[in-house]
Structure 1
Amino acid sequence: MPAKRASPTVLLTGFEPFEQELLNPSWEAVRALDGWKCGRATVHARLVPCVFGDALDALDRVMDELQPVLVVCIGQAGGRAEFTPERIAINVDDARVPDNHGRQPIDVPVVPGAPTAYFSTLPVKAIVRELRAGGVPASVSNSAGTFVCNHLFYGLMHRLATHPSAAGARGGFIHIPYLPAQAARFPGAPSMSLETLVDALRITVKTALAVKHDVAETGGQLH
């Protein structure tokens, strides 16, 4: 097992493009922060395949390498208008479309025999509060879907809950809107600029490192 690093490491992951897209806003935003210093912590950005199983293998390798104290995985959510930290990951793969290797699991667990769900250990409501204060549209999301995003989110939270090397580390998942160039192909679809997405990630990392106990304020939805 690699030794713990002298200075804290933050891992940000983004996905490769999928479903005929030429880019993925998650990777475009994440890679802009590779090497960024947030206090004593250093951010490392890594690309993850949009493939069931392979995404978790890639996450395991980089977590073994970096031993991060904080992991924030980012994914595209076309149609959403806000920066949305996810509250919960569920133990099911149910793919609406095939992944980038043609895999399309239906109603199978991410991790057989593991808990039904895990809550994010990010301070999701504090993150939303700080994002809004910084002028970024944001809200708590209560569903990460059942595609590779939720697959990666659940796998991350299961590792953080069970792997000895992850003791004390925190993590979660955030869905983000299309970039404007993508939304132009879908008239009426909302988007968010790359500059805003990168600023939002900076706020997210700063808040997650500073806030150990989430704030108690409404973040619920009627449906």
Structure 2
Amino acid sequence: MEQIKVIVTGYDHYEGVEVNPSYQVPQALADRGMGGLTRTDTQLEDPLRGVDLDITAVTLPVSFAKAWPILHQAIERVEPDLVIATGLKRHARGISMERCAVNIKEVGHDLACQDESGHGPTEPIDPDGPAAYWTRLPLRAILQEFGHCGIPATLSSDAGTYVCNALFYNLLGWATKHPDVLAGFVSLPMVNETDPQGLGLPLEQQIQAIQEVVRETVRYYRQPSSSPILIA
């Protein structure tokens, strides 16, 4: 049986957020694995068949100085094949699949990803790095599965310029030196259990969404092709 190791990350605390999906969802995947994820309407073979899937949740502080070093240590310890980072977008209606990370960091008005230590003005994350990195997740395939499952989702080209984006940029910079590892970032909305017309999604639907991200990324990892990797 083929073993595939997955790290799913989130953040430990957002000010004013009682139920933090970026913490709850990775923990649920580590506890449950892919349990409860069943699909009967797909013509594609289940990519998890014959796979020993090992999911590790990593909780990070909302800190420029600490988030990437902690994740990097976890990557060196686990030696994952896939790394899926998550964060919170307070004003999103559904799941945001992030396409790229930009080489800018600042602390400003966006409290959802604001650095708790009040980091300084705008500056490059890596003065010698490229302007941006593109995700290594199969976005088209993931969005197609979201459509089958009725999970509201969108493409996003803006993970902000705060800790979420900085973590994403550092992760993809690391991945350029480890081409066998697939990595990317998914922004989760607020948890909304009561108002189908309002912002956010139920927690269980967000858990299912990241399960689908894992499953379709495993599919691409096992059978790479150029068509589903990115939507421009």
- Please give the range of the TM-score, normalised by the shorter of the 2 chains: 0.7 to 0.9
Which amino acid counterpart does residue 120 of structure 1 have in structure 2? T
What is residue 164 of structure 2 aligned with on the other side? Answer: 149
Counterpart position of 1:3: none
Structure 1 stretches (4+) deviating beyond 6 angstroms?
none
- Alignment partners' CA distance in 2, 1:81 and 1:90: 23
Cα distance in 1 for residues equivalent to 2:69 and 2:230 = 36
Is 1:127–2:139 an aligned residue pair?
no
Q: Which residue of 2 aligns with 1:178?
A: 190
In the alignment, what sits opposite 2:122?
A: 107
Query: How far apart are the structure 1 equivalents of 2:79 and 2:52?
Result: 15
Deviations 1:158-191 (A, max 9, x none): 11113xxx3410100001110127x99xxx8501
CA 1:74–1:203 in structure 2 vs 1: closer, same or farther (change >3 Å)?
same
Distance, in Å, in 1 between the alignment partners of 2:148 and 2:64 is: 36
Q: Tell me whether 1:139 sits opposite 2:135 in the alignment.
A: no
Residue 133 of structure 2 is matched in structure 1 by 118
Match of residue 10, structure 1, among 6, 9, 21: 6
- SS, match of residue 57 in structure 2: strand
Q: Are 1:48 and 2:63 counterparts?
A: no
Deviations 1:39-78 (A, max 9, x none): 3221111101111120011111100010100000001001
Q: Which moved more, 1:68-77 or 1:108-117?
A: 108-117
Q: Is the 8 A contact 1:123 1:214 kept in 2?
A: no
CA positional deviation for 1:105: 2.9
**Matching residue of 1:83:** 95
Secondary structure at the aligned position of 1:29 is classed as helix
3-state SS of 1:32 partner: helix
CA distance in 2, matches of 1:72, 1:100: 21
Secondary structure in 2 matching 1:8: strand
Supply the AA of the counterpart residue of 2:30.
Answer: D
Code of the residue aligned with 2:83 in structure 1: it is V
Displacement of 1:216 after TM fit?
A: 6.0
Q: TM-score, normalised by structure 1?
A: 0.85
| Counterpart position of 2:24 | 28
Structure 2: distance between partners of 1:89 and 1:73:
12
Counterpart code for 2:22: S
Distance 2:199 2:231 in 1: 21
Partners of 1:218 and 1:56 lie apart in 2 by: 24
Out of 59, 62, 70, the residue aligned to residue 58 of structure 1 is 70
Shift of 1:84: 1.2
Structure 1 unmatched runs, 5+: 1-5
**Distance in 1 separating the partners of 2:96 and 2:172:** 17
Tell me which of 183, 206, 210 is aligned to 1:197: 206
Could you list the runs of 5+ residues in structure 2 that have no partner in the other structure? 35-47
SS of corresponding position for 1:118: strand
* CA-CA distance at 1:101 after TM superposition: 3.6
**3-state SS of the aligned residue for 2:169?**
helix
Distance between the aligned counterparts of 1:72 and 1:179, measured in 2?
A: 19
Identity score, percent: 25
Q: Name the Cα RMSD after superposition.
A: 2.4
2:215 aligns to what? 206
Deviations 1:8-35, CA, capped at 9 Å, x for gaps: 2100001112233234211111110105
Structure 2 residue aligned with 1:72? 84
